[in-house]
């Protein structure tokens, strides 16, 4: 008979990594979200060979205390929640305390950090889950994470990595969605030593719309309507594309719930209904929308990668979204479109 035994911690982390670390862009997502949670105002992402050779994310956030570096890469260790109640009200992007443990178990990993209020930086290296001792290092206030040779010890996963260009395209798409989520943060993306994107911090609505235009196309502003409406403890703001900006594919739809990009059934249905009588069958609207509501009203602990959420009051959210968007689009029905072209 086979005997039951506990799994070694490295193997546990590699199994957990299988859930969230699907490809290089998943690593970038986890690292950039950590930078955002650390209050960074500037985030630099450097990629080599589509992320297979190197992913480096550098931020100017709050940093990690030297004695906490090993905890940062330990599984189920987080600074973001401490109780079930916190989980119910989570406002940060992370809370599972799993990402760094997972990533560092399937790559050659280094975490270098300096707390804002100190002048000593430390670097911790982890090689396929094996921790080295932290050493003093040079680093400005903030944190850098380096992930080299992703999946070098997980051949099955490595096989699934696509061409460099394809993997980089996924990373670029991800960065676009993060840049739209946080207009106030500066983002830089480079591939193989060449700068690919530079998004300077957007200080006002006009600058934010410029960032939107860089992602959805330069003609989007002239073909969209500004939405900003609050009711029932919720706020919906952003830009909805006019029927003229519709697409044959649903590839320009950005919907954020409390700063997190989500794909949600309730949201999709409300949007579809709002557009129902202004769009031809088979056309998909383009939009960038931000829904803000009390974190207690939305459960983000639905899926490890957190692409999904569950609203506690689905009906209420659905009706709020539908009414707000329907109202905004009423102008297009009346044929008196007033766009935001500048």
Distance between CA atoms of residues 147 and 108, nearest Å: 6
Is 98 among the residues that bind ligand ADP (CB under 6 A)? Answer: yes
Nearest Cα residue to 262 out of 215, 203, 305:
305
| Residue 143: contacted member of Mg ion, ligand ADP, none (CB under 5 to 8 Å, by partner type) | ligand ADP
Stretch that binds ligand ADP, among 91-99, 128-136, 198-206, 298-306 (CB under 6 A): 91-99
> Would you report the helix, strand and coil content of the chain in percent, each value rounded to 5?
35, 25, 40
Give every CB contact of residue 107 below 8 A, 6+ residues apart in sequence: 27, 128, 147, 148, 149, 150, 151, 152
φ and ψ of 257, to 5 deg: -110, 115
Span 243-302, contacts to ligand ADP by CB under 6 A = none
Q: What's the closest the beta carbon of residue 210 comes to ligand ADP, in angstroms?
A: 27
Q: Which of 80, 310 has the CB closer to ligand ADP?
A: 80
Q: Do 105 and 13 form a contact (C-beta atoms < 8 A)?
A: yes
Is 96 among the residues that bind ligand ADP (CB under 6 A)? Answer: yes
| Residue 97: contacted member of ligand ADP, Mg ion, none (CB under 5 to 8 Å, by partner type) | ligand ADP
97: left (phi over 0), alpha (psi -120 to 50) or beta: left
Is 122 among the residues that bind ligand ADP (CB under 6 A)? Answer: no
Out of 26, 35, 112, 208, the residue judged to bind ligand ADP by CB under 6 A: 35
Q: What's the closest the beta carbon of residue 45 comes to ligand ADP, in angstroms?
A: 12
Out of 94, 142, 221, 238, the residue judged to bind Mg ion by CB under 5 A: 94
Burial class (CB in 10 A: 0-12, 13-18, 19+), 278: middle
| Residue 80: contacted member of ligand ADP, Mg ion, none (CB under 5 to 8 Å, by partner type) | ligand ADP
Size of the site for ligand ADP (CB under 6 A): 22
Stretch that binds ligand ADP, among 57-65, 148-156, 254-262, 266-274 (CB under 6 A): 57-65
Distance between CA atoms of residues 194 and 207, nearest Å: 25
Looking only at the bridges linking them, the beta strands covering 121-127 and 253-257 are: unpaired
Is 99 among the residues that bind Mg ion (CB under 5 A)? Answer: yes
Q: What's the closest the beta carbon of residue 220 comes to Mg ion, in angstroms?
A: 31
Where are any strands of DSSP class E within the chain? 42-48, 54-59, 108-114, 121-127, 130-131, 135-137, 142-148, 186-191, 194-199, 224-231, 234-241, 253-257, 260-261, 287-293, 298-299, 310-311
Distance between CA atoms of residues 324 and 237, nearest Å: 10
Q: What's the closest the beta carbon of residue 304 comes to Mg ion, in angstroms?
A: 11
| Residue 98: contacted member of ligand ADP, Mg ion, none (CB under 5 to 8 Å, by partner type) | ligand ADP
- From the CA atom positions of the chain, what is the Rg in Å? 21
Distance between CA atoms of residues 95 and 268, nearest Å: 26
Span 130-159, contacts to ligand ADP by CB under 6 A = 143
Out of 22, 65, 79, 86, the residue judged to bind ligand ADP by CB under 6 A: 79
Out of 51, 62, 221, 238, the residue judged to bind ligand ADP by CB under 6 A: 62
Stretch that binds ligand ADP, among 46-54, 88-96, 152-160, 209-217 (CB under 6 A): 88-96
Out of 13, 25, 78, 253, the residue judged to bind ligand ADP by CB under 6 A: 78
Q: Which of 61, 221 has the CB closer to ligand ADP?
A: 61
Which residues bind to ligand ADP, rule: CB under 6 A?
A: 30, 34-35, 38, 59, 61-64, 72, 78-80, 94-101, 143
């Amino acid at each position: 008979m086979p005997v039951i035994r506990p799994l070694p911690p490295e193997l546990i982390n590699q199994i957990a990594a299988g859930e969230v670390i699907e490809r290089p862009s998943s690593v970038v997502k986890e690292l950039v979200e950590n930078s955002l949670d650390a209050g960074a105002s500037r985030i630099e992402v450097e990629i080599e060979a589509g992320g297979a050779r190197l992913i480096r994310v550098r931020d100017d956030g709050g940093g990690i205390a030297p004695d906490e570096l090993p905890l940062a890469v330990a599984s189920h260790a987080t600074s973001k929640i401490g109780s079930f109640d916190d989980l119910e009200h989570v406002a940060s992007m992370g809370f599972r305390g799993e990402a760094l443990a997972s990533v560092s178990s399937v790559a050659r990993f280094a975490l270098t950090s300096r707390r804002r209020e100190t002048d000593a930086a430390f670097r911790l290296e982890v090689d396929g889950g094996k921790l080295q001792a932290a050493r003093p290092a040079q680093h400005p206030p903030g944190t850098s994470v380096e992930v080299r040779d992703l999946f070098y010890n997980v051949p099955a996963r490595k096989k699934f990595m696509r061409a460099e260009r394809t993997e980089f395209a996924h990373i670029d798409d991800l960065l676009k969605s993060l840049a739209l989520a946080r207009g106030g943060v500066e983002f830089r993306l480079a591939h193989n030593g060449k700068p690919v994107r530079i998004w300077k911090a957007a200080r006002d609505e006009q600058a934010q719309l410029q960032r939107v235009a860089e992602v959805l196309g330069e003609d989007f502003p002239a073909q969209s309507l500004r939405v900003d409406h609050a009711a029932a403890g919720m706020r919906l703001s952003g830009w909805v594309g006019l029927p003229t900006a519709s697409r044959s594919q649903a590839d320009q739809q950005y919907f954020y719930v409390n700063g997190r990009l989500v794909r949600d059934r309730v949201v999709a249905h409300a949007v579809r209904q709002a557009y129902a009588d202004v769009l031809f069958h088979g056309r998909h609207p383009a939009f960038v929308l931000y829904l803000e509501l009390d974190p207690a009203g939305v459960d983000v602990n639905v899926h490890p990668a957190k692409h999904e959420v569950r609203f506690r009051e689905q009906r209420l959210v659905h009706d709020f979204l539908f009414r707000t968007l329907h109202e905004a689009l009423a102008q297009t029905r009346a044929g008196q479109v007033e766009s935001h072209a500048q």
